[in-house]
Structure 1
Amino acid sequence: MDSETVVALLYYFLFAVLVQSVPISPAPNTPPVLKEAAERAKTLVEKILRELPAVHTATVNTEGLTLDPAPQTPNLQMMVTSLGIPATPILKPLSERFTMDMCVSRMSVGCLLYQGLLGVLADRLSGLTNLRADLRDLLTHINKMKEAAQFGAESPDQNQSLDLASRLHGNYEVQVAVHVTLTQLRSFCHDLIRSLRAIATYRRRAAGAR
């Protein structure tokens, strides 16, 4: 064996020893402040979900508009399009393409959306004030999550629900708008709970996968 081969082998074994001796740092767990804010937000979302059926019963009295799972009729779909009620922000599972920052930002956008819609509808009928206040408190917790994780500040469009007011020409339009808003809000809350659970455990799962 020539001297160059011997030197190369020595370098190889030395590199292997150094690599094995360097400790691999596990992915850090979710910061305690972020986890606490996520838990508080989840508790509030669960409260909103418990209250939604009673709010719907108190505000929607048009026959056929219930919270029971049922496919939308063509007439109801046309009404939703006519009223211009925005779609709920989509919350996907956390990944490299859908980061925690993006997820929390969409949570914020959704809360602002439903706060705005309920604010417009609260001018036409009673029974929505407490729900809107809960969304305001939820947004506070989500903002605390942003601060804890040092996410970049964004300015969601807070005017996306303002067109609804000009399209509520009668009681039927109001009833449909309330029904659709509460139905979409319920679905959004279910997505929120899944996302909040994922945020509280995301890094810990990633560390365990190594």
Structure 2
Amino acid sequence: MNIVIVFAIPCYMASLVCSAPLPEGSTLVEDPQFQEILLMSRSLVQKILLSIPDTHKSCIYTEGLQLNSSENAKLATMATIINIPSAPALRAVSESVTLKTSLTQMSEGLRLHQDLLSSVSQKLQSKDKVTELMADIRDLTIQVNKMLKMVQKEAVVQPSPTPVALNLPGEYEVQVAAHLTLVQLQSFGQDAVRLLRSLDQSNEEAKN
């Protein structure tokens, strides 16, 4: 998925995820243990989303790099030059998308952003907030992998963080890399919220 698309998909994903049926894994989703992990995951995603603006403010000082700006789409070429990979597109559970696939995509996306932040943080002047954000992403990944383990009935091997080979010859590239990573993480997190909400049985109980 081209990074330009990342900034355009939230509305599409909202309708896709919220309307998703649960044809596969519905019994597992209803399991109290699964729901407990799910609720913890939702809480962590919200924590991550709430911390992104402060993290951005703490380490991005280059004029013109705003977290919520239509101008971000114009940085697609820079994203390619810097070598920032796009996040997996989170797809709702459906007849063609299994629960395992959705959770795997979420786990892979979280690991990608963890690796991106690990790489760029080494060159940031202020990295305390980034380090805290990485810890929350790590904690969320652990919870998602617990759900994934329940789905596939085997342990999920979590690889050690691997710094992504980013092309960061100067301070401007470092700033853009950190900025685009946080922008992409915010979009990915919003999609994760919708996906997890669609699996939350307490929402269904509230409707009944």
TM-score range relative to shorter protein: 0.7 to 0.9
Shift of 1:87: 0.6
What is the deviation of 1:148?
A: 2.7
Report deviation, 1:197: 1.3
User: What is the Cα deviation at residue 111 of structure 1?
Assistant: 1.0
- Classify 1:139/1:73 alpha carbon distance in 2 versus 1 (closer, same or farther; 3 Å): closer
Shift of the alpha carbon at 1:201? 3.4
Partner of 1:42: 42
* Distance of aligned partners of 1:159 and 1:138 in 2 relative to their CA distance in 1, 3 Å threshold: closer
* Structure 2 letter corresponding to 1:70: S
| Corresponding pairs, count | 176
- Share of identical aligned residues, percent? 36
Does the CA contact (< 8 Å) of 2:107 and 2:145 recur in 1? Answer: yes
Counterpart of 2:55? Answer: 55
Q: Which residue of 1 aligns with 2:151?
A: 149
CA contact (8 A) 2:119 2:165 kept: no
Larger radius of gyration: 1
Check the 8 A contact 2:62/2:175 in 1, yes or no.
Answer: yes
Aligned to 2:164: 162
Aligned to 1:183: 183
Per-residue deviation, residues 6-40 of structure 1 (Å, max 9, x unmatched): xxxxxxxxxxxxxxxxxxxxx63611111111110
1:192 maps to what in 2?
192
Partner SS for 1:56: helix
Task: Give deviations 1:168-205, integer Å, cap 9, x for gaps.
Answer: 11100000000000000000100111111112239x79
Unaligned runs of 5+ in 1: 1-26
Which residue identity is paired with 2:90? L
Give the aligned partner of residue 139 of structure 2.
Answer: 137
- Asked whether the equivalents of residues 109 and 156 of structure 1 are also in contact (C-alpha less than 8 Å), the reply is no
Following superposition, the deviation at residue 143 of structure 1 comes to: 1.3
TM-score (norm. length: structure 1):
0.75
Contact 1:35–1:200 at 8 Å: present in 2 too?
yes
What are the ranges of 5 or more consecutive residues in structure 2 without an aligned counterpart? 1-25
Q: Structure 1 54/123 Cα, relative in aligned 2: closer, same or farther at 3 Å?
A: same
Q: State the partner residue of 1:85.
A: 84
Shift of 1:78: 1.3
Other-structure match for 1:23 = none
Question: Aligned-pair distance for 1:157?
Answer: 8.2
The equivalent residue for 1:14 is none
Q: Is residue 112–residue 158 contact of structure 1 (8 Å, CA) maintained in 2?
A: no
